[in-house]
Amino acid sequence: MTRPITDLFAEIRKATDRHRARHGCSAYPYGNGPLLSALAAAVRARRILELGTALGYTALSLAYGASDATVDTIECDADHVRLARDTVAATALAHHITVHEGDFAKMLPTLDPGYDLAFFDGGTPIPTLHSAVRGLLRTGGVLITANLTHDGTADAVQKALFDGKFWRSASVDERGETAISVKL
C-alpha cells in the first residue's frame, strides 16, 4: 500500500514545476524534501551547503530539518535567485537561509569550510565540483548527491563516491539516482 507523504513545502515544489513549464528551464524540484529534512535532523547539522536552489524548495526542507542550522544555497539563474529569495523571505526560516547568486565553480572557493551537510542538485554531477564540495565538508560530514543517473560526468562521480577510498556511500533508491555519502 502506498501511503501519502506529508511535505510541508509541497506548494513550493508545485510552484517550481509551474515555473519550469513557463520558463523552459532545468528547475526540476527534488523528489523527496522530507528525506532531506530527516537527514539534516539526523546529522544535527549546523552548517548546510546546497548546490542548485531553483525556487528554494530543498533549501527550506534542509533548514526545516535542522532548526539551528544555516543554509548556504548557490544558484546562477537570476530569475531563480529572485524567486527563491522572495519565497524564503515569506517563511519563518528566512533568517536561516542565504541564497548566493553565481556559478558553483566561482562561489564555492568563497565559502568557509566546515559544513556538516551538503546537497548537490545542480544538474549533472561533475568531479571537480564534488572535489570542491568535499573540501568544504568536515570529516564525518554528509554529502547527498542527486542526478547520479545522468550520463557523462555523473559516472565518474558515482565511481568516486562508491570506491570506498574517500566516502562511505549508499544509494537511497533502487535506480541509484541519489547517494548519501559520509566523508571519511
Point out which residues bind ligand SAM (CB under 6 A).
Answer: 16, 26-30, 52, 54-55, 57-58, 74-77, 80, 103-104, 121-123
Instruction: Report d(CA 34, CA 49) in Å as an integer.
Output: 17
Closest CA to 126 of 159, 171, 161, 157: 157
Q: Closer to ligand SAM by CB, 76 or 111: give it.
A: 76
CB of 11 to ligand SAM, least distance (A): 12
CB of 168 to ligand SAM, least distance (A): 24
Q: Closer to ligand SAM by CB, 29 or 141: give it.
A: 29
Residue environment code for 31-42, b if the CB has 16+ CB neighbours within 10 A, otherwise e:
ebbbbbbebbee
Q: Closer to ligand SAM by CB, 131 or 184: give it.
A: 131
Instruction: Report d(CA 139, CA 114) in Å as an integer.
Output: 8
CB of 59 to ligand SAM, least distance (A): 7
Closest CA to 97 of 79, 81, 121, 76: 81
Q: Determine contact, residues 134/110, Cβ cutoff 8 Å.
A: no
CB of 37 to ligand SAM, least distance (A): 13
Q: Closer to ligand SAM by CB, 17 or 163: give it.
A: 17
